[in-house]
């Protein structure tokens, strides 16, 4: 069934790095408003706003201390209302980041909850020490440490699957669920068109037994995608979401296809789509810090599994937690421009709602961090500490963590070649990539053949093509470097997409659905004969 949220392009804004309006070096809401025309021009139909709520910013806003207030760094509630109004004028919808697995430890609920006799005690997960002493169980956090924090005052521990300043809410308490419903209604009434739900498949903890020991996130079998979570999501849908014209995308970690299917099955009325990570881990071992060789066949296998396995996908290659895709699966030096266009071709020819992360549309690259002092990301700092404990030398540590640091995606947006990159007139909160002198919006908007222009035209092409939006996906060919797939509306139209993920020329078979008229090219070719240049992307109209 067609829906507006299946057809619009979603653009993720990481507010602190998007546009600063007052020279304090931190992006803000008035800054976003000043760039709305720009987003409209690119073809954006929805903004996903990373958290702008009141927060002590231990994890850059993913630690909320008041869900109904705005972080003063970003502006005021009046600014936020102004943003909704200005976006609406341009027919751009906004989805909010709903971070409800945990709050900040400065949230009023948590402060009250530290008192053993408070009615808020049960809003969080407090447990006495293990009978043998020490934390209640062996669970570990996403940032590498034990997941329990001791509170000497009440002589108990509270659970935090992320930083200790991010205590997990207790979803066995119906009052917590009612609070969350109220928060959702608050934002939907203000004009939000839905939510991106942070680590939503972790909210329900089934038991508190020790987990099977793992190098990371021990205990996960007790809290990933539990039955209790499905029930809660159905309740939120029934009592809140179903009363508004909105959509939800749930970030789901360690999610299996089966669980993702249940989460996004329209019949079950939980979420509309989910973010999963499989397709970004082709060149990673189970632990993302250990690299392995990229293999295009494997990428196509994973894409096929999810494209065909789910009714509707959330399609993305970047977000604020991932390295820049051109530095990850592309080539950010010699073939920077061509490989970024190949990745744009991939993104915009898959079936699902397309998400673009700020800066992706100009091929922003990873930052060359040379020292841990340049890093703000909690996760990178945590992993560095952990590796140090294993006596891994600094050079090797940096080699492992820097290419994956979440800060690669968090450096300020590169608007122009000026010293502050058009992002700020002040001192930016996180280093600006030196390459903004070359890689920036201003330059690319003006130049025919730029990555920006390529994104814009692919977005335009998708907007008028039912086949790209809704057509069936089928794999056609792959080897270590090349993948090819088709998008088809039976009896109506078929496209095939052929991509060479390598610095070397390659070939694809030249028969069947791999023959057709060239409709998209990143090398300026008129006809296709089965020979691909390095990093070439071509879309053929087969019939």
Residues engaged in binding ligand ISL (CB under 6 A): 59, 62, 99, 142, 162, 198-199, 251, 253, 288, 320-321, 379, 406
- Least separation in angstroms between residue 334's CB and ligand ISL is 27
CB nearer to Ca ion: give 20 or 384: 20
| Of the candidate residues 24, 81, 86, 149, the single one contacting Ca ion (CB under 5 A) | 24
Give yes or no for a contact between 463 and 447, defined as CB atoms under 8 angstroms apart: no
Give yes or no for a contact between 488 and 472, defined as CB atoms under 8 angstroms apart: yes
Give yes or no for a contact between 400 and 387, defined as CB atoms under 8 angstroms apart: yes
Judging by beta carbons within 10 Å of its beta carbon (0-12, 13-18, 19+), is residue 305 exposed, middle or buried? middle
- Least separation in angstroms between residue 30's CB and Ca ion is 8
| Of the candidate residues 9, 10, 13, 26, the single one contacting Ca ion (CB under 5 A) | 26
CB nearer to Ca ion: give 26 or 96: 26
- 251 included as an active-site residue: yes
CB nearer to Ca ion: give 20 or 105: 20
- Least separation in angstroms between residue 282's CB and Ca ion is 37
Collapsed DSSP state (helix, strand, coil) of residue 206: coil
Give yes or no for a contact between 315 and 7, defined as CB atoms under 8 angstroms apart: no
Set 20, 105, 156, 251: catalytic member: 251
Judging by beta carbons within 10 Å of its beta carbon (0-12, 13-18, 19+), is residue 436 exposed, middle or buried? buried
- Least separation in angstroms between residue 429's CB and ligand ISL is 16
Give yes or no for a contact between 514 and 333, defined as CB atoms under 8 angstroms apart: no
Between CA 445 and CA 458 the distance in angstroms is: 15
Could you say which residues in the range 28-47 bind Ca ion, by CB under 5 A?
28
- Least separation in angstroms between residue 73's CB and Ca ion is 7
Which of Ca ion, ligand ISL, none does 454 bind, CB closer than 5 to 8 A by kind?
Answer: none
Tokens found for residue 116? 């053993």
Set 28, 79, 198, 318: catalytic member: 198
- 155 included as an active-site residue: no
Task: Please identify, among the stretches 20-28, 285-293, 445-453, 492-500, the one whose residues bind Ca ion according to the rule CB under 5 A.
Answer: 20-28
Q: How many Cβ atoms from other residues are within 10 Å of residue 461's Cβ?
A: 16
Collapsed DSSP state (helix, strand, coil) of residue 135: coil
CB nearer to ligand ISL: give 32 or 404: 404
Judging by beta carbons within 10 Å of its beta carbon (0-12, 13-18, 19+), is residue 329 exposed, middle or buried? buried
Give the residue among 256, 148, 254, 253 at the shortest CA–CA distance from 199. Answer: 253
User: Which residue of the chain is nearest Ca ion when measured via CB?
Assistant: 28
- Least separation in angstroms between residue 61's CB and Ca ion is 14
- Least separation in angstroms between residue 366's CB and ligand ISL is 13
Which of Ca ion, ligand ISL, none does 22 bind, CB closer than 5 to 8 A by kind?
Answer: Ca ion
Which of Ca ion, ligand ISL, none does 20 bind, CB closer than 5 to 8 A by kind?
Answer: Ca ion
Task: Please identify, among the stretches 27-35, 79-87, 104-112, 396-404, the one whose residues bind Ca ion according to the rule CB under 5 A.
Answer: 27-35
β-bridge mates for residue 98, sequence order: 197
Collapsed DSSP state (helix, strand, coil) of residue 314: strand
Between CA 404 and CA 417 the distance in angstroms is: 26
Whole-Å CA distances, 14 to 43, 329, 360, 470, 494: 18, 22, 12, 29, 36
Which of ligand ISL, Ca ion, none does 202 bind, CB closer than 5 to 8 A by kind?
Answer: none
Give yes or no for a contact between 232 and 200, defined as CB atoms under 8 angstroms apart: no
CA torsion sign, 458 to 461 to 464 to 470?
Answer: negative
CB nearer to ligand ISL: give 136 or 250: 250
Which of Ca ion, ligand ISL, none does 28 bind, CB closer than 5 to 8 A by kind?
Answer: Ca ion
Rule CB under 5 A: is residue 270 a binding residue for Ca ion?
no
CB nearer to ligand ISL: give 97 or 361: 97
CB nearer to ligand ISL: give 162 or 195: 162
Task: Please identify, among the stretches 16-24, 148-156, 348-356, 400-408, the one whose residues bind Ca ion according to the rule CB under 5 A.
Answer: 16-24
The residues of the shown chain that bind Ca ion, judged by CB under 5 A, are 20, 22, 24, 26, 28
The catalytic site residues sit at 198, 251
């Amino acid at each position: 069934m067609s829906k507006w949220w299946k057809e619009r392009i979603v653009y993720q804004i990481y507010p602190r790095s998007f546009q600063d309006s007052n020279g304090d070096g931190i992006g803000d809401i008035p800054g976003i408003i000043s760039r709305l025309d720009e987003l409209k021009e690119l073809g954006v139909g929805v903004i996903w706003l990373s958290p702008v709520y009141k927060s002590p910013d231990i994890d850059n806003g993913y630690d909320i201390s008041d869900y109904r207030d705005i972080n003063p760094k970003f502006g005021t509630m009046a600014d936020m209302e102004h943003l909704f109004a200005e976006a609406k004028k341009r027919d751009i919808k906004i989805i909010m980041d709903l971070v409800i697995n945990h709050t900040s430890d400065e949230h009023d609920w948590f402060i009250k909850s530290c008192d053993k006799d408070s009615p808020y005690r049960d809003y969080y997960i407090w447990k006495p020490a293990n009978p043998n002493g020490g934390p209640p169980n062996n669970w570990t956090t996403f940032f590498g440490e034990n997941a329990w924090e001791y509170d000497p005052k009440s002589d108990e521990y509270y659970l935090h699957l992320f930083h200790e300043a991010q205590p997990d809410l207790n979803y066995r308490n119906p009052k917590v669920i009612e609070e969350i419903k109220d928060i959702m209604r608050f934002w939907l009434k203000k004009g939000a068109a839905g939510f991106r739900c942070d680590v939503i498949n972790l909210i329900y903890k089934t038991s508190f037994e020790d987990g099977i020991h793992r190098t990371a996130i021990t205990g996960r079998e007790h809290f990933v995608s539990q039955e209790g979570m499905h029930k809660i999501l159905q309740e939120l849908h029934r009592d809140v979401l179903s009363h508004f014209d909105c959509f939800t995308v749930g970030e789901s970690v360690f999610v299996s296809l089966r669980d993702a299917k249940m989460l996004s099955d329209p019949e079950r009325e939980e979420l509309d789509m989910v973010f999963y990570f499989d397709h970004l881990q082709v060149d990673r071992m189970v632990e993302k810090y250990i690299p392995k060789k990229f293999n295009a066949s494997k990428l196509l296998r994973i894409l096929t599994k999810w494209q065909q396995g789910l009714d509707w996908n959330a399609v993305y290659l970047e977000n604020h937690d991932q390295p820049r895709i051109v530095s990850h699966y592309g080539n950010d030096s010699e073939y920077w421009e061509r490989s970024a266009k190949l990745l744009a071709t991939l993104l915009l020819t898959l079936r699902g709602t397309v998400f673009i992360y700020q800066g992706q549309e100009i091929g922003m690259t990873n930052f060359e961090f040379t020292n841990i002092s340049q890093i703000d990301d909690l996760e990178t700092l945590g992993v560095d500490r952990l590796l140090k404990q294993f006596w891994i030398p600094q050079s090797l540590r940096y080699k492992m963590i820097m290419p994956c640091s979440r800060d690669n995606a968090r450096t300020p947006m590169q608007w122009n070649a000026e010293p502050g990159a058009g992002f700020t007139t002040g001192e930016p909160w996180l280093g600006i990539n030196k390459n903004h002198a070359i890689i920036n919006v201003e330059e690319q908007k003006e130049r025919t053949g730029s990555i920006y222009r390529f994104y814009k035209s692919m977005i335009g092409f998708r907007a008028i093509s039912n086949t790209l939006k809704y057509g069936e996906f089928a794999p056609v060919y792959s080897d270590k470097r090349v993948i090819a797939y088709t998008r088809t509306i039976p009896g109506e139209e078929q496209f095939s997409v052929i991509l060479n993920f390598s610095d070397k020329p390659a070939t694809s078979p030249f028969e069947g659905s791999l023959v057709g008229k060239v409709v998209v090219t990143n090398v300026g070719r008129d006809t296709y004969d089965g020979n691909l240049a390095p990093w070439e992307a071509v879309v053929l109209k087969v019939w």
